[in-house]
Amino acid sequence: MTVKVAVIGAGPAGLAAASRIKKLRPDYHVVVFEKTRWASFALCGTPYYIGGLIDKPEKLMHYPPRFFIEKRGIDLRLIHRVIYIDPDKKILEYEGPGGTGRYEWDVLLIASGARADLPDVPGIDLQGVYKLHHIDDAVLLREKIEGENVKDIVIIGSGYIGLELAENLQRIGKRVIIPTRSKYPLTKLLDPDMGEKLANILREKGLVINYDESLEEIKRKNDRLEIVTSKNTYTADAVIVATGIKPNTEIAEALGLRTGNSGAIIVDSMMKTSRPDIYAAGDNVEVKHVVTDKYTWAPFAQEANKEGYVAGSNIAGKTILFPGVAGTSVTSVKGVVIAGTGLTMKEAYRHGFKPIAAYVEARTKPAYMPGSGKVLLKVIADKKTGLLLGAQAIGGEDAYWRINVVAALLHKRGVVEDLFFTDLGYAPPVNTVWDALVIAGRILLRNW
């Protein structure tokens, strides 16, 4: 009897899992139900599609749907929405272009992702108000700002998407203002001290971000929009609401799966949910955090891919355990790279640590080398145990890589000595002899 696997969602997690299953068990029947017309989508690329670096929306797919069907033998069904699941009888019902149907499965994988989390204010549904989460959002948005007389754009929110959009809209000649509820940009990633530094840098780079203002209402005014916040009123040709995302939770709720604080599905290290033969992976799950060993929601593409890989392996009978995430994230705005991993100070306190921090501002190369720049680095450790807890960096691409080095140490539960003693290479074209990470390690060594 052929084992039948149903996957809900053809994003990174769903297709990584489906591909892995077919690789290990070509005899399995794997059907992937995807409600949109897109598969293998790279949502992180959408701002760059808006900015014209990507010409066609099809290029926001890592591989075309045909690849998964023809090369990998996956029964990929686009524009198919799963409308009912019976977890006991192991059947699901779907709705597609050809009507409704039913599929009996032996194993189910829920990889239904996340969606835009919009504030509940008057006017949020007006024409001219956009969101940017999925590819179709990007297609619609680009069509509108290219086709109409759109010059002034207000972006609500100073998270990753808000900032990346601002850069890309400026690239194509739009005037952008960003009112944000936050006191500084990228509040999920940065502590207030680092956030303030970033705010100053972005201001110097010509980005207008107005902090500590919450959106109250959006109104139509002639052929433009009026955006009312707690402090100001703006007039614009379009509004993009980039106030974050939340996990898709309908299926979890319908099936009574165990969920975490975020509403996302709790999975074990095999990516199994609380019900037998039902797995979940991607932006709709909570997994363990490598530092706290507590469940966390870390909706990042690189983790969705690995979670899918792990789920697929386990479904196909090859056991592999997911060790958890460090929550590493990164963005780049107007040439400034901002990255973080692990816990912020606030999160560290919340998890019962006694965090201490080292802050380093260092040259990235000797002053005489071309391309010598600066990196701002903060590393956080626990005063009691020396355990490394997290790090944040602002600078060039090397800032991002320093954060990846810390992520590797977090993954291995590294302590302050490890940061100091990790043997980072040195040559004048690529670094200084005392790397910023090593200096941070030295400062932390003195303090515990």
Would you name the residues annotated as active-site residues? 44
Give the 3-state secondary structure of residue 151.
coil
Chosen residue from 53, 83, 126, 172 binding a second copy by CB under 8 A: 53
Minimum Å distance from CB 9 to a second copy? Answer: 16
Chosen residue from 182, 187, 305, 314 binding a second copy by CB under 8 A: 305
Minimum Å distance from CB 417 to a second copy? Answer: 7
Residue type, 294: K
Minimum Å distance from CB 335 to a second copy? Answer: 9
Catalogue the E-assigned strands of 281-403. Answer: 285-288, 295-296, 329-333, 336-342, 355-363, 374-382, 388-395
Question: Is residue 78 a contact residue for a second copy (CB under 8 A)?
Answer: no
b vs e for 355-377, b when ≥16 Cβ sit within 10 Å of the residue's Cβ?
Answer: bbbbebebebbeeebeeeeebbb
Residue type, 299: P
Could you give the CA distance from residue 353 to residue 187 in angstroms, rounded to a whole number? 20
- Reported for 271-276, long-range contacts at CB under 8 A and 24+ positions apart, including other chains, are 271/307, 271/310, 271/311, 271/314, 271/322, 272/314, 273/110, 275/87
Give all strands of the β-sheet with 91-96 in edge-to-edge order: 81-86, 91-96, 99-104
Question: Is residue 426 a contact residue for a second copy (CB under 8 A)?
Answer: yes
Minimum Å distance from CB 50 to a second copy? Answer: 12
Chosen residue from 91, 121, 177, 424 binding a second copy by CB under 8 A: 424
Q: Which residues ranging from 357 to 376 are in contact with a second copy (CB under 8 A)? A: 366, 368-370
Chosen residue from 96, 121, 411, 448 binding a second copy by CB under 8 A: 411
Minimum Å distance from CB 396 to a second copy? Answer: 9
Minimum Å distance from CB 332 to a second copy? Answer: 4
Q: Which residues pair with 236 in a beta bridge?
A: 225
Question: Is residue 168 a contact residue for a second copy (CB under 8 A)?
Answer: no
Chosen residue from 172, 319, 417, 447 binding a second copy by CB under 8 A: 417
Chosen residue from 28, 33, 48, 295 binding a second copy by CB under 8 A: 48
Our CA dihedral for 394, 400, 404, 407, rounded to 10 degrees, sits at 30
CB nearer a second copy, residue 8 or residue 310: 310
Element (DSSP H or E) covering residue 278: strand 278-280
Site string for a second copy, 382-401 (x = CB under 8 A): ---------------xx-xx
Pick from 375, 428, 426, 369: nearest CA to 398 = 375
Applying CB under 8 A, the span of 38-46, 229-237, 246-254, 343-351 interacting with a second copy comes to 38-46
Residue 373, C-beta contacts closer than 8 angstroms, at least 6 positions apart: 363, 364, 365, 395, 396, 398
Could you give the CA distance from residue 39 to residue 272 in angstroms, rounded to a whole number? 23
Report yes or no: 395 and 431 within 8 Å, Cβ to Cβ. no
Chosen residue from 152, 226, 277, 418 binding a second copy by CB under 8 A: 418
Question: Is residue 286 a contact residue for a second copy (CB under 8 A)?
Answer: no
CB nearer a second copy, residue 220 or residue 413: 413
CB nearer a second copy, residue 226 or residue 418: 418
Question: Is residue 448 a contact residue for a second copy (CB under 8 A)?
Answer: no
Question: Is residue 295 a contact residue for a second copy (CB under 8 A)?
Answer: no
Instruction: Give the position of tokens 């901002």.
Output: 338
Site string for a second copy, 320-339 (x = CB under 8 A): x-xx-xxxxxxxx----x-x
Q: Which residues ranging from 232 to 271 are in contact with a second copy (CB under 8 A)? A: none
